[in-house]
């Protein structure tokens, strides 16, 4: 049966029955060749492969219902004929076409977005499909631990089915066909036809990855000329899905388990209804509410109320202020998302990394319902990926090494989140080998980062791992060793005004503790006065403030003015000199020192007075001024004047580089704008 068309296959099938095993075998082999040697268009291939697989079940006697199996083969061939119609030149319809490579389709197999595709619906489809895929990935990982979890199987099945149905409506044939094959595999698991083994889990997770790539191809086609590329490995994966049986084994180093706290990606009956809102509109709403807060604050601070005689008006303004604050809290909550989705994505990272590293790792999450600003959640994703991968690759020992150390062969990586003092704290804990001070110091000296560890605390030494290019790995692998991961962690955390602390004990494990603001739109800060100017310092950067004694102050060569606090020397930063403020306190003995920063970057800011803790609406300085070193934004205070929000890390770097930046024009510009 060297020559075959889909019409031939449909005609031949009508002439056969279950006893014609020889002809059924020949038809199965011919359909397999037709599917995987590009004898039909790419969108039709999964349907042809499906028909070949079911024919194989008929030949082997594995079909529970012969009649239903024949109908399934007929339906698959009919579906292939529908999507194949008109997609290949006439001279190719009766012969097999062999493409140069399976991942570089020939022109006749290229696919375009349908001419009548609804380009307004496609972006929503992509977003919703990613949500379905995220839910299915979490359920697949849960199913690997609990193969009998029927609800997890149903969750994945529904996700693939939803993507298939919607993509078919939008005319995305290849995506529809692949989702159909992935759905069929889970259908076989659900019907107890096959067991959910390790190889089945690997194949299902690869299918999830392929769906992501197919969606990315649709997104790229929307932004370009409409051409849909074929992801690498697409054909091989379709073949594996179509021909999977219980005896199939996929190469894997070692089994790793992953445990996730939440037990369901379901929408329960009676749950709150939701509606999609464009983020730019939501951001605009929050901006306007912020303006309302500022306007109400200015009214409440007006001199009209200083004499305290207009009691009725004061009550009305106070009532309006209460409503405005509640409106602000409500609008901010609309941007809040639970960390569950971010944490669930890391389950896959642990699984894949542990398999590659040949380790047994249990991943446990806690605090999945803790909420954080959506923007912060997105920016937190990359740092957590690097940190979790490092915890598995560097932190947790191999099974044999753990056993020799008297530990369980399976390591534990725990990710938790909780609220603390108006912030969100995310902690990553592993029970691995821990950080070794001597090795870190030796590597830092070799790289010229430090001359010695004299006077450095353990926290200072541990902070060295965040230096660019710093790595203690003996060899570079596809997992780690280039020294770029932890540098990304610090850079991303600083960009969202967060900080990270490290605690570690050799042989017992390491804890990374990240403290983050709840949102970037509103800043919880300490309002301080320097001369006639006021600055807002984010609370997440402040450790303590105190009035120094004379014995604590000194001058050190190469460091300038320093203060000795609890055995540590910290440089003093005079904000009035850095920002050209006149009439400020000159002597630290007459002012206050505020300890900010982390590790060896810890410094003492000299301020005149603490005016109190405030929650302020953060604003950019505007396109005219651009980025001002040491300043992350501004806040309009109750009296209408502008208080600059300090970027503490930039301020410290600015002081160390001795770049004095006059900002009088910045203050004047905003004062005039406010007036």
The reply to whether 425 falls in a domain is yes
pLDDT at 45 > cutoff 80:
no
Does 205 lie in the same domain as 86?
A: yes
Q: Would you say 662 and 654 are in contact if contact means Cβ atoms under 8 Å apart?
A: no
Compare 110 and 144 and report the one with higher pLDDT.
144
Measured CA to CA, the distance from residue 383 to residue 583 in angstroms comes to: 43
Does 114 lie in the same domain as 10?
A: yes
What residue spans of 391-523 are helical by DSSP H?
A: 399-404, 437-446, 458-462, 485-495
Does 351 lie in the same domain as 388?
A: yes
Q: How confident is the model at residue 293 (pLDDT cuts 50, 70, 90)?
A: confident
Does 399 lie in the same domain as 312?
A: no
Question: What average pLDDT does the chain have?
Answer: 78
Does 70 lie in the same domain as 121?
A: yes
Give the pLDDT score at 609: 92
Does 351 lie in the same domain as 330?
A: no
Does 343 lie in the same domain as 286?
A: no
Q: How confident is the model at residue 254 (pLDDT cuts 50, 70, 90)?
A: very low
**pLDDT digit string (tens) for 455-510?**
777 877 888 888 777 776 655 455 554 444 677 777 778 777 777 888 898 889 99
The mean per-residue pLDDT over the stretch 363-386 comes to: 86
Does 500 lie in the same domain as 632?
A: no
**CATH at residue 397:** 3.30.565.10
Q: How confident is the model at residue 535 (pLDDT cuts 50, 70, 90)?
A: very high
Q: How confident is the model at residue 247 (pLDDT cuts 50, 70, 90)?
A: low
Give the pLDDT score at 599: 65
The mean per-residue pLDDT over the stretch 605-633 comes to: 80
pLDDT at 408 > cutoff 90:
yes
Q: How confident is the model at residue 572 (pLDDT cuts 50, 70, 90)?
A: very high
Compare 600 and 112 and report the one with higher pLDDT.
112
CA-based radius of gyration for the chain? 31
Measured CA to CA, the distance from residue 586 to residue 173 in angstroms comes to: 73
Give the pLDDT score at 253: 34
pLDDT at 616 > cutoff 60:
yes
Give the pLDDT score at 480: 55
Residue 128 structure tokens: 């919703």
Give the pLDDT score at 366: 92
Does 341 lie in the same domain as 298?
A: no
Count structural domains, the chain. Answer: 4
According to the per-residue pLDDT averaged within each range, which of 122-131, 400-409, 646-655 is highest? 400-409
The mean per-residue pLDDT over the stretch 392-406 comes to: 91
Residue closest to 429 by CA, chosen among 418, 442, 444, 443 = 418
Numbers of helices and strands, H then E, in the chain: 20, 20
Residue closest to 463 by CA, chosen among 492, 502, 493 = 502
pLDDT at 98 > cutoff 50:
no
Does 341 lie in the same domain as 315?
A: no
Give the pLDDT score at 161: 83
The reply to whether 552 falls in a domain is yes
Residue range(s) defining the domain that contains residue 115: 6-242
Give the pLDDT score at 522: 74
558 CB contacts (<8 Å, ≥6 apart)? none
pLDDT at 606 > cutoff 90:
yes
Q: How confident is the model at residue 593 (pLDDT cuts 50, 70, 90)?
A: very high
Give the H/E segment covering residue 431. Answer: none
pLDDT at 620 > cutoff 80:
no
The mean per-residue pLDDT over the stretch 359-378 comes to: 88
Return the DSSP state at 619. B
Give the pLDDT score at 251: 37
**Long-range contacts made by residues 57-66, C-beta under 8 angstroms, separation at least 24?**
58/18, 58/24, 59/21, 59/24, 59/25, 59/28, 64/193, 66/18
Compare 517 and 609 and report the one with higher pLDDT.
609
Compare 639 and 564 and report the one with higher pLDDT.
564
According to the per-residue pLDDT averaged within each range, which of 60-69, 161-170, 664-673 is highest? 161-170
Does 417 lie in the same domain as 303?
A: no
């Amino acid at each position: 049966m060297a020559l075959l068309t889909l019409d031939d296959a449909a005609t031949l099938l009508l002439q056969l029955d279950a006893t014609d095993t020889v002809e059924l075998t020949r038809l199965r082999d011919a359909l397999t060749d037709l599917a995987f040697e590009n004898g039909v268009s790419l969108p039709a291939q999964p349907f042809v492969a499906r028909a070949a697989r079911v024919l194989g079940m008929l030949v082997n006697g594995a079909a529970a219902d012969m009649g239903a199996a024949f109908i399934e083969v007929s339906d698959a061939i009919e579906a292939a004929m529908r999507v194949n119609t008109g997609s290949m030149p006439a001279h190719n319809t009766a012969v097999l076409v062999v493409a140069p490579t399976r991942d570089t389709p020939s022109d006749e197999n290229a696919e375009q977005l349908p001419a009548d595709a609804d380009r307004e619906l496609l972006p929503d489809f992509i977003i919703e499909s990613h949500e379905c895929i995220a839910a299915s990935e979490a359920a697949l990982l849960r199913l690997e631990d609990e193969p009998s979890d029927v609800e997890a199987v149903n969750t994945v099945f529904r996700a693939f089915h939803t993507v298939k149905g919607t993509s078919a409506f939008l005319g995305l044939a290849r995506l529809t066909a692949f989702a159909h094959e992935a759905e069929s595999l889970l259908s076989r698991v659900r019907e107890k036809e096959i067991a959910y083994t390790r190889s089945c889990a690997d194949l299902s997770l690869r299918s999830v990855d392929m769906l992501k790539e197919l969606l990315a191809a649709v997104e790229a086609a929307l932004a370009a000329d409409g051409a849909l590329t074929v992801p690498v490995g697409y054909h091989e994966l379709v073949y594996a899905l179509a021909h999977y049986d219980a005896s199939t084994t996929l190469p894997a180093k070692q089994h790793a388990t992953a445990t996730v706290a939440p037990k369901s990606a379901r929408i329960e009956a009676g749950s709150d209804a939701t509606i999609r809102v464009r983020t730019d509109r939501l951001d605009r709403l929050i901006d306007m509410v912020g303006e309302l807060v500022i306007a109400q604050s200015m009214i409440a601070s007006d001199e009209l109320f200083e004499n305290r005689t207009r009691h009725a008006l004061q009550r009305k303004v106070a009532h309006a202020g209460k409503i405005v604050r509640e409106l602000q809290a409500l609008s901010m909550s609309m941007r809040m998302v639970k960390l569950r989705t971010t944490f669930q994505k890391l389950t896959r990272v642990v699984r894949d990394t542990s398999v590659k590293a040949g380790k047994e790792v249990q991943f446990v999450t806690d605090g999945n319902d803790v909420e954080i600003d959506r923007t912060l959640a997105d920016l937190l994703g990359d740092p957590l990926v690097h940190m979790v991968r490092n915890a598995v690759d560097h932190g947790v020992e191999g099974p044999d090494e753990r056993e020799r150390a008297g530990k369980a062969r399976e390591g534990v990586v725990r990710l938790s989140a909780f609220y603390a003092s108006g912030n969100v704290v995310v902690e990553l804990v592993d029970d691995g080998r821990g950080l070794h001070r001597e090795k870190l110091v030796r590597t830092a000296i070799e790289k010229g980062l430090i001359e010695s560890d004299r006077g450095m605390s353990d926290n200072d030494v541990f902070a060295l791992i965040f230096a660019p290019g710093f790595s203690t790995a003996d060899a570079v692998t596809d997992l780690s060793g280039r020294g770029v991961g932890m540098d990304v962690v610090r850079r991303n955390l600083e960009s969202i005004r967060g900080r990270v602390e490290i605690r570690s004990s050799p042989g017992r494990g390491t804890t990374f503790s990240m403290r983050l603001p709840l949102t970037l739109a509103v800043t919880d800060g300490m309002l301080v006065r320097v001369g006639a100017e006021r600055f807002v310092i984010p609370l997440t950067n402040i450790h303590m403030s105190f009035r120094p004694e004379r014995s604590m102050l000194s001058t050190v060569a190469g460091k300038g003015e320093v203060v000795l606090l609890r055995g540590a020397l910290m440089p003093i930063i005079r904000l009035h000199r850095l920002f050209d403020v006149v009439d400020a306190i000159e002597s630290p003995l007459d002012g206050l020192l505020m300890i900010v920063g982390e590790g060896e970057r810890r410094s003492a800011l000299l301020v005149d007075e603490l005016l109190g803790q405030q929650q302020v609406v953060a604003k950019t300085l505007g396109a005219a001024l651009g980025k001002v070193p040491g300043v992350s934004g501004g806040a309009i205070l109750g009296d209408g004047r502008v208080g600059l929000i300090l970027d503490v890390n930039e301020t410290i770097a600015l002081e160390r580089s001795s770049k004095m930046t006059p900002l009088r024009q910045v203050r004047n510009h905003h004062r005039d704008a406010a007036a």
